[in-house]
Structure 1
Amino acid sequence: MEIGIIGAGNIGSTLARYLTNLGHQVMIANSRGPASLSKVAAETGATPVTTEEAAGAKDLIIISIPEKAIVDLPISILAASQAIIIDTGNYYPSRDGRNAAIEGGLTDSEWVAQVLGHPVIKAFNNIVAPSLAAKAVPAGSPNRIALSVAGNEEREKQVVMRLIEEIGFDAIDAGSLSESWRQQPGEPAYCQDLDREALKSALQKADLSKRAANLAMADEIARPYF
C-alpha cells in the first residue's frame, strides 16, 4: 500500500519502520518539514515528505499527533481522500487545552472525524511507544499483546486489523467509533499490554459514568511529561 504518516514521534516513526519492513511504500511528515526527518528516514526507510503529500497517500493515512494539532492539518486534502485514515491520538487537557466537544460526550476520534470531514479508525492509541517498538511477536506466541480497533467502517477496520496482525500483535474489534472511549486514557484497556482475552475483558469493564474522572486522573499522571 501507499501509506502516509503524519507525525514522526515515537508512535509514528515506529509504525513507519514496521510498515516499510512489510514492503509498503511509506511517506512520513511532521510540522517542521522534510528536512528535519533525515534521521527518521534513515532509521525507518520511510520517505520524508510534506504534510500535504502525506495527506495525499492513496491507500492509508496514519495521524499520530497531539489532538490540539488536528485543526492545523490540511483538512481539504484529508476530507476528499479515498484512503483509510487511522487516528492514533489521545486527548489530554493539560497538553491540548480544554475541548468542549470531547468533554461534552464525543469520543476523541469522533471529534477528529468531525474536524477532518472524513471517517477515521481508532487504533494504536492504547499501547505505549516502547511496547509498540519492542514487543511485536509472531502469531500464536504466548501472551501476545492485543490492540483494539474501533470504527464505523467494517471493511476499513478489517484492513487495519490485518496490518496489526502482520506487525506482530493480536487485533480485536472494539466496536463503533462511539465505543472508542473504552480504549482512551484512564480506562482499564489503556496501555496495559494485555493479551486478547484480557483486553476484551478490560474493554467491557469500562464504566461510562467514570469516564471524566478516569481522564482527569490520567491527565494528572501524564502532566509532567508534556
Structure 2
Amino acid sequence: MTNVGIIGAGHIGQALARTFIAHGYTVTIANSRGPETLAELVAELGPSATAATAAEAGAAGDFVVVTVPLRSYRDIPVEPLAGKIVIDTNNYYFERDGHIAELDDGTETVSGLLQAHLPESKVAKGFNHIAARDIQTTGSPAGTENRRALATASDHEDAAALVTSIYDQFGFDTVNLGPLSESWRVERDRPAYVVRQNRQELEANLAKAPRTV
C-alpha cells in the first residue's frame, strides 16, 4: 500500500489526505505545531492516517506533498525527502508571504524555489490551482465529456507522470506544462488559476497567461 507524506495540514492538505485515503492510500501528515495538535484530524481520517513531524512524514512517504505557506518553504526538511518525488501545491501571496523579488520580477517560479531548496528531490507542481473543496467534488471518470483538467510541471518526467496518474485517479485530465520554468502559467492571478476548465480551456488559458502580473 502506498503511503503519502503530507507536510502541511491546512485546507489543501486535509482535502488531499481525505482523497488519498478514499483511493486506498495511507497518509502520514504533519503540520508546524506538532503531531499532538493533529489528533482530532487523524481520528476523523481513521486508521489509514498517522500524525507525525515534518521530518517523519517526509521519511515515511513513498512520495511527499508539500502544502505550506510559501514563506515557510525553507523549513521543509531536506534530507528525508532526498530521492523522492515531491508534489508542490504552494502559491505566492505577497500579502501573506512578504515580497519575494525573484517572483515579483518573473525570474523564478514558486516550485522552482522549492526545487532549489530540495536539490536531491524531484519536485512537481500539483493541486495549486484548485480550491480545496473541489478536490473531492469536481472529478469525474476518464472519458467524461467536459472533464475538469489540472496542470502539472516538473523537470523530471517520472514526477510529472506521478501527478498525472494521481489526477486521473481523482477524476481530472492533465495538461503537462513541461519544466518548472513554465509553472508560472498556472500561478496566482493567471487565467487558469482556480477556475473550472476542461483540457482545451486549460490549454488556452495557459497559452495566454502573462509572465508577470
| Counterpart among 152, 164, 167 of residue 167 in structure 2 | 164
Structure 1 residue 76, shift from structure 2 partner: 3.2
Deviation of 1:58 after TM superposition, in Å, equals: 4.3
**Percent of aligned positions with the same letter in both sequences?**
40
Aligned residue among 175, 181, 187 for 1:184: 187
- Distance between the aligned counterparts of 1:35 and 1:83, measured in 2? 26
Which residue in 1 is equivalent to 2:95? 94
Which runs of 5 or more structure 1 residues have no equivalent in the other structure?
214-226
Deviations along 1:30-62, one digit per CA (max 9) or x if unpaired, are: 011111112221333321111111111342100
Q: Alpha-carbon deviations, 1:128-152, whole Å to 9, x = none?
A: 1122232122222232211101111
Counterpart amino acid of residue 4 in structure 2: I
Contact 2:151 2:175 in 1 (8 A): yes
Q: More displaced, 139-148 or 180-189?
A: 139-148
Counterparts of 1:150 and 1:96 in 2: how far apart (Å)? 23
Aligned pairs (5 A) from 1:1-226: 1-45=2-46, 46-78=49-81, 81-104=82-105, 105-117=107-119, 118-208=121-211, 211=212, 213=213
Q: Distance in 2 between matches of 1:59 and 1:73?
A: 16
1:100 shift after superposition: 2.2
5+ residue gaps, structure 2? none
Query: How far apart, CA to CA, are the structure 2 residues paired with 1:207 and 1:100?
Result: 17
Q: CA deviation at 1:125?
A: 0.2
Partner Cα separation in structure 2 for residue 44 and residue 101 of structure 1: 38
Whole-Å Cα distance in 2 between the matches of residues 57 and 182 of structure 1?
32
3-state DSSP of counterpart to 1:150 = strand
**Counterpart residue type for residue 28 of structure 2:** M
- TM-score scaled by structure 2? 0.92
Which letter maps to 1:37?
A: L
Q: Which amino acid aligns with 2:161?
A: Q
The 8 Å contact of residues 69 and 97 in structure 2, kept in 1 or not, is answered as yes
Kindly tell me the number of residue pairs found equivalent between the two proteins: 208
* Cα contact 1:131–1:193 (8 A) shared by 2: no
Aligned partners of 1:58 and 1:82 also within 8 Å: no
Partner of 1:217: none
Runs of 4+ more than 4 Å apart: none
Contact 1:101/1:111 (8 A) holds in 2: no
Which stretch of the first structure deviates more once superposed, 182-191 or 126-135? 126-135
